[in-house]
Structure 1
């Protein structure tokens, strides 16, 4: 998991504010006169040991914690599998979730039909809530075939047609199931932590001021009969125009891919991963994903 120092500045400040507020709420006031009110000019003494004992984070108690560390952005977990399709499972009504309407095109209408089967699990905006969620969901290695977890920033639907995704693409890797059953849970956890910690996009950690917006919209893990697939979705994708702005975007996209491969998944930079049922860490724009054959332009790290 990334250390707090790698979070963007606003996230660090929010975390400090939350901790300071918790300390203030749990402050135990003492004075020379015991419980008597402090007199003018009298210095208040604070029992730091008692304060520390009253603070409980998710690491102390996964269910009963009283300190929350805000994330830079709120996130929503979605889920679908063959066993949920067509079933009226308990969930938050889609109508109560803020979202961009999908276009009334054949693709948009198809996505709307698909969204009827996907289940919104929960939204969260703190480190503690994330761990509370993670500790109470089924691990990818235990999911049924053709199941998917989608972790996306709140307000973004995990569909190509969403306004935040339509001009973007995805980094993905496909891993044979029999060789990676013991690794997929850790890989998915690290992928989620990189997303909510805003470390997927290295440019964010390097920027001191005038911080750019994150390119990351969400991450996905999919289980299939013979393989697992992990993906990181981006808001934009290079188009190969040769223009300076497009070349700069490609460099940034490639940096995300290298971080995904090495820092998140744990592979070496030059390590070759392709093989039976396996792919390299590859990027495709969503528009190119719809193309067949050699027209699709992949970026590989």
Structure 2
């Protein structure tokens, strides 16, 4: 079965094609704006257990058009790749840090409850059984991200972001 995964080990035979009409070529030259500007964030595992959550959360990049999104998204790992590797690391000036979560939030909204745009918000958690395959996880993640940034999941104005976190079987974030 084919899934919407950009991990080539999951979908080696899946090819994305389009007709090469002049109309499509012309449309692709124009910026296709999104309703909101979005930021990609990483949460790194803090070496100091007393460190504040906000100290472990870092903005990576922002995008406001479809083209900018795909330029970034094409270089981001799929959940299946993260799960296969068991962890992803980022080199910082003070050494290597394990990335605990990847988040996409609207620009100027921090991925934390203390942000005034999130204080009245809710929390929708989608937790998968360990037996769910990587391709299926990728498809769920890609569909959710595309729906959130494309404002096709209603009420779009109330959705401020989305998070991908690997959870252990006991329900806590998985340590390195």
SS of the equivalent of 1:176 reads coil
Residue pairs, 1:215-226, within 5 angstroms: 215-226=158-169
Whole-Å separation in 2 of the counterparts to 1:122 and 1:187: 22
Aligned residue in 1 for 2:39: 76
Output one character per residue of 1:14-66: Cα deviation in whole Å (capped at 9) or x when no partner: xxxxxxxxxxxxxxxxxxxxxxxxxxxxxxxxxxx8x7586373xxxxxxxx4
Is the helix fraction higher in 1 or 2?
1
Aligned residue in 1 for 2:150: 197
> Higher relative contact order at CA 8 Å, sep ≥6: structure 1 or structure 2?
2
Residue pairs, 1:221-240, within 5 angstroms: 221-226=164-169
Output one character per residue of 1:182-229: Cα deviation in whole Å (capped at 9) or x when no partner: 211111111111111112215x6xxxxxxxxx111111111123499x
Q: Choose from 80, 86, 109 the match for 1:156.
A: 109
Instruction: Name segments (4+ residues, structure 1) moved above 4 Å.
Output: 51-54
Whole-Å separation in 1 of the counterparts to 2:132 and 2:33: 36
Whole-Å separation in 2 of the counterparts to 1:56 and 1:165: 36
Whole-Å separation in 1 of the counterparts to 2:123 and 2:34: 23
Structure whose alpha-carbon radius of gyration is higher:
1
Aligned residue in 1 for 2:91: none
User: What are the ranges of 5 or more consecutive residues in structure 1 without an aligned counterpart?
Assistant: 1-48, 58-65, 87-109, 205-213, 229-301
Whole-Å separation in 1 of the counterparts to 2:34 and 2:74: 18
TM-score, normalised to structure 2, is 0.66
Task: Report the CA distance between 1:123 and its aligned residue.
Answer: 0.4
Task: Report the CA distance between 1:121 and its aligned residue.
Answer: 1.3
Is the strand fraction higher in 1 or 2?
2
SS of the equivalent of 1:224 reads coil
Q: How many residues align?
A: 136
Whole-Å separation in 2 of the counterparts to 1:221 and 1:182: 15
TM-score, normalised to structure 1, is 0.40
Output one character per residue of 1:210-258: Cα deviation in whole Å (capped at 9) or x when no partner: xxxx111111111123499xxxxxxxxxxxxxxxxxxxxxxxxxxxxxx
